[in-house]
Amino acid sequence: MTGSSMALDDTLDTNKDDDILPDRDVAKEFYAKYEPKEILGRGISSTVRRCIEKETGVEYAAKIIDLSADPENKNSTLEEVRILRLVAGHPFIIHLHDVFESETFIFLVFELCKNGELFDHLTSVVALSEKKTRYIMRQLFEALDHVHSHNVVHRDLKPENILLDDLMNVKLTDFGFAHVLKKGEKLMELCGTPGYLAPEVLKANMFEDATGYGQPVDLWACGVIMFTLLVGCPPFWHRKQMVMLRSIMEGKYCFSSPEWNDVSEDSKNLIRQLLVVNPDDRCSVKDALNHAFFHPKLFDQDIEPIKKDYKMASRKLSKIIQMTEVRTCQLLKPVMYDDKNSALLSLYAVLKKKKKSCEGNFFLDKTPKGGFSLNFFFFKPPPGGGGIHPSRFKVYLEYLNAYNELTLPN
């Protein structure tokens, strides 16, 4: 037995008591590239582990899916992978870094979001301020706008499927129920989580003459999420599920509890426009983003503490962003600030500039040295013609001990 085989055997033996065992062939590919660490979570047929990419030292989350119990899991998982790749490149959608597959196991390697689920964060704080709710809901709507632009409906939006990265930014995840809609297609399948189901999903399962449903179901779920963030409890919850489902069908909820006394009318109005029983009358993603709740002045007031002293970063990053024909990685010397949110300032500057002058996609990734990199993919003709090819470069931002101290603005 070779040394590498022994190392693999040792790893598998160590994990055999607390995890499903991946088959040896695909495990060799995975373990050759990644070092598995502790278990982060478990599902019915899957386990999620923190892992480290050996070449770069970057941490990821590996979801190991056991296909032996239900062979159909493979088809559904590969469809989820296809959709994740279709909607890839958005800063508020989880980044799928790597995939390994065999007949009995599939490894999905995602970016690691150390702040976990929005659900767990909400559980710890009970409810969020309007500022923080605006911060999170804006990112969620922007992610959803990107998803819908690719004719995809998510169908399972809920706080458990929204992760928070190290900067407390949203990462929309779990596209297991997502579906790519054909032109004019309506869905009839009952799927999702009961408290977040739109009325038309329930009707599709209850009435033979139901017309089905489409992307507006995601907007209904956003209304439930926003309601829950602001007061810490969902709008339709009841210990008897049939009573809850009846309330959903009728759109019965209220703002009469004391928790709503200090919530603005703009917040309530947006929720009212999202929790509309008739999907034809429900607001769209773009309607939501243009709502008074997200008025630019209000949003700028919320992030004013973050924008403080970001001009130097903006100038340096703007120059690099304008280099659309870069062919090699460009290293930006560390930008140091007294402000602990320096990285977030820089990210804000980049995103703001990108909307005005850049074409292409980008995603956020961490560096081995404790900073992060913004990965840009530009689609511009290279010098001398020859067709359109992607150009890629990284902007590295490294900073002292602020990395683990970043929080949402107060």
Could you tell me the domains of the chain? 3-111 (3.30.200.20), 118-294 (1.10.510.10), 303-405 (no CATH)
Residue 156 annotated among the catalytic residues of the structure: yes
The rounded distance, in Å, linking the Cα atoms of 203 and 302 is: 40
Which among 296, 366, 375 is positioned nearest to 329, based on CA atoms? 375
Q: pLDDT band at 22, cuts 50/70/90?
A: low
Q: Buried (b) or exposed (e) across 78-97, using 16+ Cβ within 10 A?
A: eebbebbeebbbbbbbbbbb
Q: Residues within the annotated binding site? A: 63
CB of 372 closer than 8 Å to CB of 401 = no
Whole-prediction pTM: 0.71
Question: Is it the case that residue 200 has pLDDT exceeding 80?
Answer: yes
Type and span of the H or E element at 171: strand 170-172
Least confident of 51-65, 119-133, 350-364: 350-364
% of residues, the chain, pLDDT over 90: 56
pLDDT confidence of residue 23: 55
Q: What is the pLDDT of residues 252-278, one digit of tens each?
A: 999 999 999 999 999 999 999 999 999
Q: pLDDT band at 69, cuts 50/70/90?
A: confident
Please enumerate in sequence order all residues whose Cβ is within 8 A of that of 10, keeping only pairs 6 or more positions apart, or say none: none
CA 261 to chain centre: 31
Residue 279 or 381, more confident: 279
Q: What is the pLDDT averaged over residues 232-238? A: 93
Residue 19 or 88, more confident: 88
Catalytic residue among 66, 156, 165, 218: 156
pLDDT confidence of residue 172: 98
Q: What is the pLDDT averaged over residues 67-89? A: 91
First to last CA, the chain: 58
Question: Is it the case that residue 71 has pLDDT exceeding 70?
Answer: yes
Q: pLDDT band at 374, cuts 50/70/90?
A: very low
Residue 49 or 387, more confident: 49
The rounded distance, in Å, linking the Cα atoms of 163 and 180 is: 22
**Average pLDDT value over all residues in the chain:** 76
Q: Positive or negative CA dihedral for 166, 167, 168, 172?
A: negative
Q: What is the pLDDT averaged over residues 127-153? A: 95
Q: Residues within the annotated binding site for ATP? A: 63
Question: Is it the case that residue 109 has pLDDT exceeding 50?
Answer: yes
Question: Is it the case that residue 315 has pLDDT exceeding 50?
Answer: no
Residue 13 or 188, more confident: 188
